Structure 1
Amino acid sequence: MAAKDRMAVLAAMMDQSIIPVFYDPDVEVCKNVIQACANGGAKCIEFTNRGDFASHVFFEVTKHFAKADPSVIMGVGSIVEAPTAGIYIANGAKFIVGPMLNAEVAKVCNRRGIPYSPGCGSATEIGYAQELGCEIVKVFPGSSVGGPEFVKAVMGPMPWTRIMPTGGVEPDEASLRKWFGAGIVACGIGSNLITKELLKAKDYAGIEKRVAETIALVKKIKAELAAK
């Protein structure tokens, strides 16, 4: 996956199923956390665009992994307008995620062959995102817009829809079984996966273990659902 083209990135996101969502202002902390996630099987990482100079941190981290571990696929989240999307794409982002739907962001991403997953909270927004060429639609905030029941309701009349919720997804069997049972293809998990306790302790081995266990759990759940 050296080229990390659009279709390869989308396939990697769906295969991985769990997308760690993370940001820290410290470049070295980011390198360690992202490497831990990659070692645990989560090669696709959503770096959130938050805080001053976040794009500079992203640039340094992405440049690092281009040499240290080219298998890492760096994406960026919390993108709300096209100029910011362009900055991150220039700095190496391979997918773009946002809390809301913005047609101009979709145009920039389509022009550059970059997957765009906008935040949607209704069937109308999801349909519009699909018109704009979004293959995986983010449902956000996942729990607030209706949770797994919302996903089921949308998948009924729109079974071609690929949904990735963020917000309200827990890295435990009960939560993951509900969401994937409803029909999602992936989910973003932030502090529920990369916890404050693990970060404070700089327990990168603990982060790797937690990520690996969560990904293994999802693969098991998906296999069981496919067998039904």
Structure 2
Amino acid sequence: MAKDRLAVLSAIIEQGVIPVFYHPDVELCINVIQACANGGAKCIEFTNRGDFAWEVFKDVTKHFKKADPSVIMGVGSIIDAPTAALYIANGASFVVGPLLNAEVAKVCNRHCVPYSPGCGSASEVNYAHELGCEIVKVFPGSCVGGPEFVKNILGPLPWTKLMPTGGVDPTEESLTKWYKAGIVASGIGSKLITKELLAAKDFGAIEKKVAETIALIKKIRGK
């Protein structure tokens, strides 16, 4: 069962960065996600990228329900309603997609699960609001205009909560540009959980990198 919708939204905003991750090995996923959680990133976006990915997600989610219930498992790369329903049935507490799909929004709303669709225009952002999306994903962040896109959206739509993925680096320079533009959170994948760290299974380094990134975001926010 998904966690409380409002609690999840608050956790995403407070955390500020969502690690985006997929691997077909359940044990490796568990270790990476625990490292992220230990570093302060309790909300994780598991991407629906591989064959039978939902089965890996199910096993990982069942593990954390017992081992560390504070972990909030979300799913990304969702483009259709049946897939969203499958992941929600297996414990997804938030759903993220590269595009905006009204049927996915309906499924998520029916289960009181936050949905963050990928949007790249004011019209898409506005439609996402009409569908009940509290946090809208900007995707691909670097291609639709970067931080300037955020500023331009927040001008006419100042109530918007934006979360870019793609084009956000875990560096002070990149994070400063995005958060000063007005985003509430960001999704970072391989630049946060790098191939090198995965290959070395250096979970301590992953924890450290996540913690440093969250600390940077707090510094930029003035907290």
The residue aligned with 2:216 is 217
Partner deviation per Cα, 1:47-95 (whole Å, 9 max, x = no partner): 0001100000000000000000000000000000000000000000000
The whole-number CA distance in structure 2 between the counterparts of 1:174 and 1:217 is: 10
- 1:1-228 equivalence runs, <5 A: 4-223=3-222
SS of corresponding position for 1:159: coil
5+ residue gaps, structure 1, are none
The whole-number CA distance in structure 1 between the counterparts of 2:142 and 2:49 is: 22
The whole-number CA distance in structure 2 between the counterparts of 1:117 and 1:52 is: 23
5+ residue gaps, structure 2, are none
The whole-number CA distance in structure 2 between the counterparts of 1:98 and 1:126 is: 13
Partner deviation per Cα, 1:128-186 (whole Å, 9 max, x = no partner): 00000000000000000000000000001100000000000000000000000000000
Residue 3 (structure 1) shift: 7.3
The whole-number CA distance in structure 2 between the counterparts of 1:130 and 1:218 is: 26
The whole-number CA distance in structure 2 between the counterparts of 1:180 and 1:159 is: 15
Q: Is the deviation greater in 49-58 or in 2-11?
A: 2-11
Number of paired residues? 223
TM-score (norm 1): 0.97
Partner deviation per Cα, 1:174-207 (whole Å, 9 max, x = no partner): 0000000000000000000000110000000000
Task: Report percent identity of matched pairs.
Answer: 76
Letter aligned with residue 10 of structure 2:
A
Segments ≥4 residues shifted beyond 4 Å: none
RMSD: 1.0
The whole-number CA distance in structure 2 between the counterparts of 1:70 and 1:220 is: 28
Letter aligned with residue 67 of structure 1:
K
